[in-house]
A and B are shown apart, each in its own frame.
Chain A
């Protein structure tokens, strides 16, 4: 009886260790086949760019590419900055003060990822002739989302404000995105 019990334990041990070994082996074989679809080091190296802001005059906007996405950079007028600042935060669907979306002392520069937070279209409002929506910022033609001069969602189906990418001023007129 005792011997039988011992055998059962031996067998359980062998089965468990063999299966654990196989599971670890399978997982470490599957990972490369999953990971190959992730961005490679070459794509990650493109993840940071520098932009010279000197040519962008007050009231103008430029669009640059960062990680394959458009980034809106707008040199806001004083009126636009004032409009963005005076909106009570409580009225906003995605409550966020303008001050948190720009760098202190550089309030005229607004940098956002130019992709509607609804379903990924690119909102209108960069070119002078574009419709800028009811709040003077951007308007997404796909499903009618209106963004204000701080890139915040004000009306329409988009759930969140336009994303502010990580960036910093490397000099007075140059920023580094990413």
Chain B
């Protein structure tokens, strides 16, 4: 943390000479070796490390794929097939990348819900949280453009539908929406020109994400990690050094995650995709039922739930934008939902709503599906705009432990320091 005194001691004269000029080893030591880590972190806290791994894995496999991929309407589809059949180990590296995108989103959703449950967005972690929302947005843009690159039917029509969202601006100022869409496409329809620019941006955005991740990690190291109690670190016994304790726990979580990852890569590489994307893009035929990748389904359901074109687009983007404001929408005095008897129920209702929206997003947009999509869309927004402010004010939190140490070791386990139970500051 920012007030943490550096314990780095250069082990040799060369290290000392280097440390006086560029203290990068000191930075690594203080940030990832001797960093005070709450002693009560559970496995949900291993997803930060897992996500870092996902980002690096996507970058490495993506750079390799770009060596073999041809970003043109004529060659894109065939070059993917060439990667899968001809390029040495191309099948494996392509599977890493395609499955890796889904794994990245599985991990990021767990990470986000972890933050929501334990109140990791609350003061002093607002900036940390907001940077996370920006990373999430950049990930969605990257994944969307990456999905265009195989140039199959789902790629083509996915791009057509999503870029056409901007045409809804025509109902605000006539012509503006169409002009934006034409600009995005570089023509009057989705074409090889569009594909080419998507490839360029798909290569650029991961480096933007990397920059945002560096800021995210920096902000984390200024304010310190949250923990299952939501309490601040008060006692020396509340924390352990990151290495080896948290590092080892991260490694265990990572290996478990990698087993899942490898299982999909080697046994179910196409399970999370759509068969239609193995038909080459055809501007004359739309597949009968087009759906986005699974990780966009809840937002797709929100888009379709609103019976107005512009309204649907605003709701879909609003579903993410609202996340930026929750540090101030949540009025609770305690962070962790563990100590919030009323909010706990609303939290799980919200989680259920997101899963339900995901299910509904994959279903046809008619009849009872639309009705339920509207119900859960209403709750999605009500959770942030009504439940968070109101429940925080009326709820009486459960008794908090006096310290993380006491939470782990039981009453009297930690030596009380100064006056007893200082509840968290708002």
Q: Which residues of A are in contact with B by a Cβ distance under 8 Å? A: 32-33, 35-38, 40-42
Contacts and interface: CB of A to CB of B under 8 A. Distances in A.
B86 A32 contact: no
A37 B67 CA distance: 8
A15 B385 CA distance: 53
A32 B67 contact: no
Contacts of B27: none
A36 B86 contact: no
A40 B88 contact: yes
26 contacts: A32-B88, A32-B89, A32-B92, A32-B93, A33-B60, A33-B64, A33-B89, A33-B93, A35-B88, A35-B89, A36-B67, A36-B68, A36-B87, A36-B88, A36-B89, A36-B90, A36-B93, A37-B67, A38-B88, A40-B86, A40-B87, A40-B88, A40-B90, A41-B86, A42-B82, A42-B86
Closest 6 CB pairs of A and B: A32-B89, A40-B86, A35-B88, A42-B86, A36-B88, A36-B89
A56 B187 CA distance: 52
A27 to B, nearest CB: 14
B80 to A, nearest CB: 14
Interface string B56-89: 0000100010011000000000000010001111
Contacts of A36: 64, 67-68, 87-90, 93
A33 B67 CA distance: 11
A126 B25 CA distance: 61
Interface centre among B60, B82, B87, B93 (most CB of A within 10 A): B87
Nearest to B89: A32
Contacts of B67: 36-37
A41 B88 CA distance: 8
A54 B131 CA distance: 72
Nearest to A37: B67
Nearest to B68: A36
B289 to A, nearest CB: 35
A40 B85 CA distance: 10
Contacts of B93: 32-33, 36
A49 B237 CA distance: 75
Interface string B322-341: 00000000000000000000
A36 B83 CA distance: 9
Given A32-B88, A33-B89, A33-B93, 6 more contacts: A32-B89, A32-B93, A35-B89, A36-B87, A36-B89, A41-B86
B98 to A, nearest CB: 16
Interface string B85-112: 0111110110000000000000000000
B60 to A, nearest CB: 7
A40 B84 CA distance: 12
A40 B87 CA distance: 5
A32 B265 CA distance: 14
A54 to B, nearest CB: 35
A106 B90 CA distance: 44
Contacts of B60: 33
A42 B88 CA distance: 10
Contacts of B90: 36, 40
B149 to A, nearest CB: 18
Interface centre among A36, A37, A38 (most CB of B within 10 A): A36
B246 to A, nearest CB: 19
A11 to B, nearest CB: 13
B84 to A, nearest CB: 12
A37 B64 CA distance: 9
Contacts of B88: 32, 35-36, 38, 40
A33 B87 CA distance: 11
Nearest to B92: A32
A168 B88 CA distance: 30
Contacts of A41: 86
A89 B48 CA distance: 70
A14 to B, nearest CB: 13
A36 B93 CA distance: 9
Nearest to A43: B86
A32 B60 CA distance: 12
Interface in B116-154: none
A33 B60 CA distance: 9
A82 B93 CA distance: 57
Nearest to A45: B86
Contacts of A42: 82, 86
A42 to B, nearest CB: 5
A41 B86 CA distance: 6
Contacts of B68: 36
Nearest to B63: A33
A35 B92 CA distance: 12
Contacts of A35: 88-89
